A and B are shown apart, each in its own frame.
Chain A
Amino acid sequence: MIVDGFFIAGAILCAITVFLGILATIIRAYPDDFALVSVALLEVFLVVYGISAAIRQAGGQAISGVPWEFWGYFITALLIPALAFIWAVTDKSRWSNTVLAVSGVIVFVMLFRMEQIWDGAIAA
């Protein structure tokens, strides 16, 4: 897998989400605004990532894996921050911050898989 700018940006955003979510779980008894914003930013990143991926694939850039698999992961990843956000809105407790943190972990795994599908996985 090639570590490109998208992957680095996404990984940093995921790390921020996880960090803020865990921190907020410890110090807040209520969903934290910074954690919520970080999840929203993650969603924005995914949208940008998706648009750019569509342009790159439409422009004939090679994807070594199966495209529908890539897009399947993409759509699933797109749902995760939104669901975590809805979770926090509908359950105003400390533990919603944990859910926000977990959403960062899940999105990271999916981003990792998408990059693997794109570049061809090194035997894992």
Chain B
Amino acid sequence: MSESNKQAAKRSRIIDAAQKRSETDRPRRSNGGRSSGLGRIIIAVYGVLALSATVRALYQILMDFSAAPLAYLLSALAGLVYIVATLALASKKPGSWKLSWYAVWFELIGVLVVGALSYLLPALFAHPAVWSHLGSGYGYVPLVLPIIGLWWLHKHRTDTGN
């Protein structure tokens, strides 16, 4: 008791007290710390973006598909890839690193290409979509998030052993 207290002295007593109750000795798989700390915040933001993009795209497709079919389909695709990225980032399975790496790259390329197209060919993107205008409708989160995500994934690479 006093031993662990000494160790925990510089840490948080509240957290350690809560931890003691939930402590289990089952071995845990690790994904190299990818899904803890800042990574967990990144995953949470991905989750929110995945949900909002997918639901909004579905709504747009169901309600008014003919208005901007290309933009809406791209939004739906973006939403699906965000879902894949969220799950892959959080996963501890081998190979999930690679999957999240590709998913996040896909988003970065998507937001850059579609963002550029929406400026060059505004007629195709007259209606709001996730990636048009570099994600300005979503506070540029779709542009910034993949860059942070790639940096984070690069820092927590786990596929080198396989």
Please list the residues of chain A having a beta carbon within 8 angstroms of any beta carbon in chain B: 30-33, 36-37, 87-89, 91-96, 98-99
Can you report 11 A-B residue pairs in the complex whose CB atoms are below 8 A from each other?
A30-B10, A30-B15, A31-B12, A33-B13, A33-B14, A89-B22, A91-B40, A93-B36, A93-B37, A95-B38, A98-B38
Specify the chain A residue showing the minimal Cβ separation from B35. A91
Contact (Cβ within 8 A) B41 A30: no
List the 9 shortest-distance A-B pairs measured between CB atoms, nearest first.
A93-B37, A89-B18, A95-B37, A95-B38, A30-B11, A31-B12, A36-B14, A33-B12, A31-B15
Q: Which residue from A31, A37, A89, A95 sits with its C-beta under 8 Å from B41?
A: A95
Q: For residue B41, which residue of chain A has the nearest CB?
A: A95
**B104 CB to nearest A CB, Å:** 19
Query: What chain B residues lie within 8 Å of A96 (beta carbons)?
Result: 37
Minimum C-beta distance from A7 to chain B (A): 26
Q: A92-B11, A95-B38 known; 19 other A-B pairs, CB under 8 Å?
A: A30-B11, A30-B15, A31-B12, A33-B12, A36-B12, A36-B14, A87-B40, A88-B15, A91-B36, A91-B40, A92-B12, A93-B36, A93-B37, A93-B40, A94-B37, A95-B40, A95-B41, A98-B38, A98-B41
B19 partner residues in chain A, CB cutoff 8 A: 89, 92
Minimum CB–CB distance from B24 to chain A (whole Å) comes to 13
Q: A97's closest neighbor in chain B, by CB?
A: B12
CB contact list, B4-33 vs A, under 8 A: 10-15, 18-19, 22
Given the complex, which residues of A lie within 8 Å of B38, measured CB to CB?
A: 93-95, 98
With A and B bound together, what is the CA distance between A36 and B17 in angstroms?
A: 13
A30 vs B14: C-alpha distance when bound (angstroms): 11
